[in-house]
A and B are shown apart, each in its own frame.
Chain A
Amino acid sequence: GQNIDQPTEMTATEGAIVQINCTYQTSGFNGLFWYQQHAGEAPTFLSYNVLDGLEEKGRFSSFLSRSKGYSYLLLKELQMKDSASYLCAVSFSSNTGKLIFGQGTTLQVKP
């Protein structure tokens, strides 16, 4: 199937660095998105990776390895407001633009 796997929960300390992993099947892969979602709100776009490598955007970076079916979201200099769910979503060529979402990783940032 087209399962997207990511850890359910993570905890980190304010000011630290945290890495959230996501794995997916490689067959038919088109691109991978990361979204941030605060409780009760809509997801907001963080990053989009289609080629191998690291994309950096301020405190957030996203990495992709197409051959390994692996991505991670790296959050640096953690702030309390980073406490949220982080959703990994994959676009497959067979799905004509439709995204398949992982279950989301709930990150709790502690003082």
Chain B
Amino acid sequence: DGGITQSPKYLFRKEGQNVTLSCEQNLNHDAMYWYRQDPGQGLRLIYYSQIVNDFQKGDIAEGYSVSREKKESFPLTVTSAQKNPTAFYLCASSTDWYGYTFGSGTRLTVV
């Protein structure tokens, strides 16, 4: 079955540490996205990629980095520069104008 997989489901980060969230899709979608969701709030766009080897910053890119070396994969690194990383992170993919398929999310907590 085609889908989009995020891992891990839960992640704990120490102060000053970089962590990488995985997102893999086998839907053959060209575009992939990373969103952040804070409690009681909507989704805010971090980075997106419409084609392999190309990506653009979203509204809240500071403290994050991404890569798109393969069509199937769009990992997100939360760097130590992100001062408030505790949130629910959602990855999505899409083709044309038909909306998103979401992964199940990663809950990141700073300890």
Does B103 make an interface contact (CB < 8 A)? Answer: yes
Q: How long is the Cα–Cα vector from A29 to B87 in the complex, in angstroms?
A: 30
Chain A binder among B13-21, B41-49, B74-82: B41-49
Chain A interface residue number, banded: 20 to 34
Does B94 make an interface contact (CB < 8 A)? Answer: yes
Q: Which residues of B contact A96 (CB under 8 A)?
A: 50
Q: Which residues of A contact B96 (CB under 8 A)?
A: 97
Does A98 make an interface contact (CB < 8 A)? Answer: yes
Contact A42 B99 (CB under 8 A): no
Chain B binder among A58-66, A76-84, A102-110: A102-110
- A contact residues vs B (CB 8 Å cutoff): 4, 8, 30-31, 33, 40-45, 48, 50, 87, 89, 91, 96-99, 101-104, 106
Given A89-B99, A101-B44, 17 other A-B contacts at CB below 8 A?
A30-B97, A31-B97, A41-B105, A42-B90, A42-B104, A42-B105, A43-B90, A43-B102, A45-B99, A48-B98, A48-B99, A50-B97, A97-B31, A97-B94, A97-B97, A98-B33, A103-B42
Could you list some 9 contacts between A and B, CB below 8 A?
A8-B40, A41-B104, A42-B90, A42-B103, A42-B105, A48-B98, A48-B99, A91-B99, A98-B31
